[in-house]
Structure 1
Amino acid sequence: MAATGVLPFIRGVDLSGNDFKGGYFPEHVKSMTSLRWLKLNRTGLCYLPEELASLQKLEHLSVSHNSLTTLHGELSSLPCLRAIVARANNLKNSGVPDDIFQLDDLSVLDLSYNLLSEIPRELENAKNMLVLNLSHNSIENIPNQLFINLTDLLYLDLSDNKLESLPPQMRRLVHLQTLILNNNPLMHAQLRQLPAMTALQTLHLRNTQRTQSNLPTSLEGLSTLSDVQLSCNDLTRVPECLYTLSSLRRLNLSSNQISELSLCIDQWTQLESLNLSRNQLTSLPSAICKLTKLKKLYLNSNKLDFDGIPSGIGKLASLEEFMAANNNLELIPESLCRCGKLKKLVLNKNRLVTLPEAVHFLTNLEILDVRENPSLVMPPKPVDKTSEFYNIDFSLQNQLRLAGASPAVVAAAAGASGARDPVARKMRLRRRKDSSQDDQAKQVLKGMSDVAEEKNKNPQVSAVRIGSDLKTRRWDQGLEKPHLNYSEFFTEDVGQIPGLTVWHIENFIPTMIDEAFHGKFYEADCYIVLKTSLDENGSFNWQIFYWIGQEATMDKKACAAIHAVNLRNFLGAQCRTIREEMGDESEEFSTVFDNYISYIEGGTASGFYTVEETQYITRLFRCYNKSNIKLESVPLKASSLDPRLIGHSLNGCLGVLFWGGWGNKRLG
């Protein structure tokens, strides 16, 4: 391949999954001098190969899921390097070189799932940093100077560390859009920096010891905040600051100690998903009926009864999922059955006696779970109105009686009808039956003779299949399935071990991702999720989902749907492949990841080739010095035009415009 001269023109290469242990790294990589991105994930690397020094145009380097203990080497000599992804290694602080933070273009750094005990030194010098992920380490504190220069950060993930406080300089992160601090003992953090982060869209504070006293009093300035995660904390009521978030779309307050909701929840006019499971709620306020855009309402494991659900809940016209398992419900309001878009109704582990008859009119209902309600009697299905005519007596006597005829006339009609000869009637029926059988026999003989004549005329007609199955089969079982080989997409052990398996679509092909990244979805990617379990008979049960990112390209969307069906065919499963969209995941899908789903900006490149148009910058130059004309760049605005000079030159796209001043002389 090197002899063909192709290597210098390669822009990107993925060597993930190869075994480069013991220094067996391909030396031809150093000939790829135009390489822009390089992936070396899961290759067994213990150190960075020296061939990287030749890749002077490299912008993106991914070395995740290896055995790296150090990043020392040639990284600092790569002037164009923008992204370093080294998650899931064995990196300690001593293995992170200080000089990589002097790279001018470094904007993405992922050191999650490592052994860091503190923030890397000199990290504050990476002034162009946009994405910083240091989650799943053992970091105990953040130095105050870190966020003095990192003011352009858009994404910050510090979850699953040992942080007890946050530096006040975090208020400088005015461009931050995503802040994830889950699973940190932030007992001393008052989060007074939050109101200054006016661009914040996603805020996750799961299991951070939040109470009413250590949250800001108001978040009114966060006009774009739409996703808040406050589950697994010590909240006894909904924090007042949340009521000021008018753009809120997703709110998770599950696993707290909340006993009541305020009437102020009607401020959440854009709310689509509300999770209040595992709290102490005994009733819902009537104001919840004003959340007309609400699609998902989760109330599992509370103390709700029939009186605790407002009668006007039927006004939630967009409601698709209502889950109130493990409560004290004896009945549900009939108005709940007026939510015509309801797809999932989960009421198991309650005290239900019956359900409204209107539940039969929920035409979109896909799941109705009423298990473990021992006293439940399902309402009868409404009978078709045509059955009302079955019990009408159409006899002559009854019709005469209804018409007011005299008893003598009614008796005469009864006598006339009773004077029939039963023996003669039997003979007539027998003759009719015999004649019909003769007619049928004649028709059969005629049909057989016609078939024989037609067969003699056309001997090429294929014979009728004689050994056809007598057992009635489903229509899809009769289809002949093509013999396809799925081994290049899925390995033999897929679906044979209980658990969770996730693939993401990359270059048209599903690629399995590590268990540590389950539940973390890139907005521009698509994923396939397989949940394998065993039933009571020891047989495998499969659930297949395909998740579509909001920014995903068309090829990824199509491949996710196609390969989800391929996976089902590969397993021989009878289940459906379920489509899940970003921000609109079902509770069933969320349960697969223990209700912990996070979104990450970005994704892999599209499988299609893209052509980028050359961007031309418009510049303005002034011309002076008549004897030896010189050009000087000036700001592109009208005030820069000086008529005393020879002229001004405007360069834009592929053309040049010249503006002459008083000192200009016509050029021959």
Structure 2
Amino acid sequence: MEATGVLPFVRGVDLSGNDFKGGYFPENVKAMTSLRWLKLNRTGLCYLPEELAALQKLEHLSVSHNNLTTLHGELSSLPSLRAIVARANSLKNSGVPDDIFKLDDLSVLDLSYNQLTECPRELENAKNMLVLNLSHNSIDTIPNQLFINLTDLLYLDLSENRLESLPPQMRRLVHLQTLVLNGNPLLHAQLRQLPAMTALQTLHLRSTQRTQSNLPTSLEGLSNLADVDLSCNDLTRVPECLYTLPSLCRLNLSSNQITELSLCIDQWVHVETLNLSRNQLTSLPSAICKLSKLKKLYLNSNKLDFDGLPSGIGKLTNLEEFMAANNNLELIPESLCRCPKLRKLVLNKNRLVTLPEAIHFLTKIEVLDVRENPNLVMPPKPVDRATEWYNIDFSLQNQLRLAGASPATVAAAAAGSGPKDPLARKMRLRRRKDSAQDDQAKQVLKGMSDVAQEKNKKQEESTDAQAPGGKVRRWDQGLEKPRLDYSEFFTEDVGQLPGLTIWQIENFVPVLVEEAFHGKFYEADCYIVLKTFLDDSGSLNWEIYYWIGGEATLDKKACSAIHAVNLRNYLGAECRTVREEMGDESEEFLQVFDNDISYIEGGTASGFYTVEDTHYITRMYRVYGKKNIKLEPVPLKGASLDPRNMSGLAACAWSARAMSSTPSPGASMPGAPSARPWPRTDWHSPRLGEEEEGALSTFC
């Protein structure tokens, strides 16, 4: 390959898994002068190869899982080096050179799983550091000056060390997004620095001796904190500061001593994963049913029984995993089987006797673990009960007998339903006919007779219009369909394959919506929804809906209804188009989207033209002349007011005392058609010195 001249153009090489223990390292690597990244993981290296000095453009170097005891060598001579990953080696304090921290571009340093007992010296000089991982070492203290310069850190992992305190300068890490402190004996650390880290998104404090007294009272300022791990601590209840996190999505409180949950958990409206395993819980509050976005709930190894699970747990419609192994459950609430998205149900090591019959209706279940429940009897699978409705006695006597009525009541009901008298029925009909002799009744009967006769006449005339096979066509089949071309709106393959197709009304025309946006409706738009499926006979069938947004304009509402009918005519479907309005959708429509629709503010532009208001330009004229009145435009300012003449601004006229003869407002205006005079009622003529504030404010 060297002979071909390719090596100088190589940008990255992964040599992981090769054996370089014997000091052999390919010399051709130094010919890769344009190399940007190099991976030497699990290669048995004991020292850094000399060939690295030729890689002046190297940016990323990974030497993990080797036998390195030192990083001394050519690293400091690589000016473009950005990332050094040397985890899982045998590095000690003296093995980390000080000069690598003078590299201007160094932003990633991973020295985890080594033998460091203190932070590398001169580490505070790496002012551009973004990612720092010193986990799984034996570091017992952090220098105070470390975080004075490293203020741009985004990721900091100090887990599994021997830290007993944290420097107060950590409050300067205002850009930090991930902080991992697992496995440190921080009993006396109050963590007062946390509220200042406003950009924090992930906080892991597993096995750090947390109690109610050494946690901040409030974390309300951490509006981005979404992932919190407080497992393996000494908490007896949920810390109050967790209830103030507005964006909390994942919370791990397993392996604590929590005995109860507060009703305040309903504030976790965004929580998707909640782990409460290995605690002392005996019951769950009903407020947990308000966590509408909860997907994973872990309750293993507690003291829960049937009464400890709320009956409304079925309201967790997004629940996918429910684990309650090693508890005291004899039964589970039937509502739990109404969670439509439940995929994993783990109930092993309980005292289960049986399960609800609705367990058979969990269509998405993938894992059902009920092992080590010796008394468990699975419920029988429900049979089809349609045949049970045949040969049912719906008589009054039988229904009264089933309702527990007395024999006398049953006998009286039987006596009251004796044989019918045809003669009495005929007499009743005759009296009813004789009593309907008023004019209005006659007109109604006559109209009905005329309609019936006309219908019979049409049926006799259409005997020749019969369908193949001798069957008479229905009335709707005899209607002539409009001869319209729908090809510019709908393609030929529409409705030919089972599935869902959605159009959005835009500028009077339906526009196809991508599948990724199905179920997401803009409040100011209208949509047409086509569901194609195979009926029992294997033929294509359709359901057509048109959805109206709450803020939709009139043109979109009308076009959605019109094009829904056009779609039905184009497919030749016999179904009707169903109108669905925002916030009042039918259950059939919601089932099309598995009860998962969302509304988004906004919408496309309306197809109507926008009418702009006419803007009038304000002008002022000077009126002069005695016999022949003339107008002359003048600038719109106070200096244009001449005491010898008269001026007009819109419907306001200004006249001066010095005028020898003031032209009358009723005088003819030159240039106007037929010299029509100005209406006197539209004028207001203040004299000189009597100007009104409103009339002169225009000139200010």
TM-score by length of 1: 0.58
Once residues 228 and 193 of structure 2 are traced to their aligned partners in structure 1, the CA distance between those partners, rounded to angstroms, is 16
The one-letter amino acid of 1:353's match is V
- 1:425-446 CA distance string (max 9 Å, x none): xxxxxxxxxxxxxxxxxxxxxx
> What's the counterpart of residue 19 of structure 2?
19
- 1:389-423 CA distance string (max 9 Å, x none): 79999xxxxxxxxxx9xxxxxxxxxxxxxxxxxxx
Give the SS at the match of 1:22: coil
Structure 1 residue runs of 5 or longer lacking an equivalent are: 394-403, 405-668
Question: Given the alignment of the two structures, is residue 9 of structure 1 paired with residue 13 of structure 2, yes or no?
Answer: no
Once residues 286 and 385 of structure 1 are traced to their aligned partners in structure 2, the CA distance between those partners, rounded to angstroms, is 35
Q: Which has the larger radius of gyration?
A: 2
> What's the counterpart of residue 360 of structure 2?
360
Once residues 41 and 378 of structure 2 are traced to their aligned partners in structure 1, the CA distance between those partners, rounded to angstroms, is 55
Question: Given the alignment of the two structures, is residue 45 of structure 1 paired with residue 45 of structure 2, yes or no?
Answer: yes
- Report the CA distance between 1:224 and its aligned residue: 0.8
> What's the counterpart of residue 36 of structure 2?
36
Give the SS at the match of 2:213: helix
Once residues 204 and 176 of structure 1 are traced to their aligned partners in structure 2, the CA distance between those partners, rounded to angstroms, is 13
Q: What does 1:242-641 align with in structure 2 at a 5 Å threshold?
A: 242-388=242-388
Q: Aligned-pair RMSD on alpha carbons?
A: 1.6
- Indicate the larger mover: 1-10 or 115-124: 1-10
> What's the counterpart of residue 67 of structure 1?
67
The one-letter amino acid of 1:311's match is S
- Report the CA distance between 1:378 and its aligned residue: 2.2
Once residues 32 and 377 of structure 1 are traced to their aligned partners in structure 2, the CA distance between those partners, rounded to angstroms, is 69
> What's the counterpart of residue 104 of structure 2?
104
The one-letter amino acid of 1:202's match is T
Give the SS at the match of 1:21: coil
Once residues 188 and 303 of structure 1 are traced to their aligned partners in structure 2, the CA distance between those partners, rounded to angstroms, is 31
- Report the CA distance between 1:92 and its aligned residue: 0.3
> What's the counterpart of residue 578 of structure 1?
none
- Report the CA distance between 1:102 and its aligned residue: 0.4
Q: What does 1:184-199 align with in structure 2 at a 5 Å threshold?
A: 184-199=184-199
The one-letter amino acid of 1:219's match is L
Once residues 25 and 362 of structure 2 are traced to their aligned partners in structure 1, the CA distance between those partners, rounded to angstroms, is 61
The one-letter amino acid of 1:88's match is A
> What's the counterpart of residue 449 of structure 2?
none
- 1:608-657 CA distance string (max 9 Å, x none): xxxxxxxxxxxxxxxxxxxxxxxxxxxxxxxxxxxxxxxxxxxxxxxxxx
- Indicate the larger mover: 325-334 or 212-221: 325-334
- Report the CA distance between 1:305 and its aligned residue: 1.3
The one-letter amino acid of 2:326's match is N
Give the SS at the match of 1:313: helix
The one-letter amino acid of 1:22's match is G
- Indicate the larger mover: 268-277 or 180-189: 180-189
Structure 2 residue runs of 5 or longer lacking an equivalent are: 394-413, 415-700
> What's the counterpart of residue 678 of structure 2?
none
- 1:278-330 CA distance string (max 9 Å, x none): 10001111110100000111111111111111111111111111111111112
The one-letter amino acid of 1:35's match is L
> What's the counterpart of residue 176 of structure 2?
176
Distance change (3 Å), C-alpha of 1:391 and 1:352: farther
- Indicate the larger mover: 47-56 or 285-294: 47-56
Once residues 332 and 127 of structure 1 are traced to their aligned partners in structure 2, the CA distance between those partners, rounded to angstroms, is 57
The one-letter amino acid of 1:59's match is E
Once residues 66 and 352 of structure 1 are traced to their aligned partners in structure 2, the CA distance between those partners, rounded to angstroms, is 51
> What's the counterpart of residue 94 of structure 2?
94
- Report the CA distance between 1:354 and its aligned residue: 2.0
Give the SS at the match of 1:4: coil
The one-letter amino acid of 1:197's match is M
Once residues 325 and 235 of structure 1 are traced to their aligned partners in structure 2, the CA distance between those partners, rounded to angstroms, is 22
- Report the CA distance between 1:5 and its aligned residue: 2.0
Give the SS at the match of 1:132: strand
Once residues 376 and 64 of structure 1 are traced to their aligned partners in structure 2, the CA distance between those partners, rounded to angstroms, is 51
Once residues 391 and 300 of structure 1 are traced to their aligned partners in structure 2, the CA distance between those partners, rounded to angstroms, is 50
- Report the CA distance between 1:387 and its aligned residue: 4.2
- Report the CA distance between 1:86 and its aligned residue: 0.6
- Report the CA distance between 1:123 and its aligned residue: 0.2
Once residues 21 and 356 of structure 2 are traced to their aligned partners in structure 1, the CA distance between those partners, rounded to angstroms, is 66
> What's the counterpart of residue 229 of structure 2?
229
- Indicate the larger mover: 303-312 or 13-22: 13-22
TM-score by length of 2: 0.55
Structure 1 segments, 4+ long, off by >4 Å, are 389-393
- Report the CA distance between 1:136 and its aligned residue: 0.9
The one-letter amino acid of 1:43's match is T
- Kindly, what percent of the aligned residue pairs are identical? 88
> What's the counterpart of residue 202 of structure 2?
202
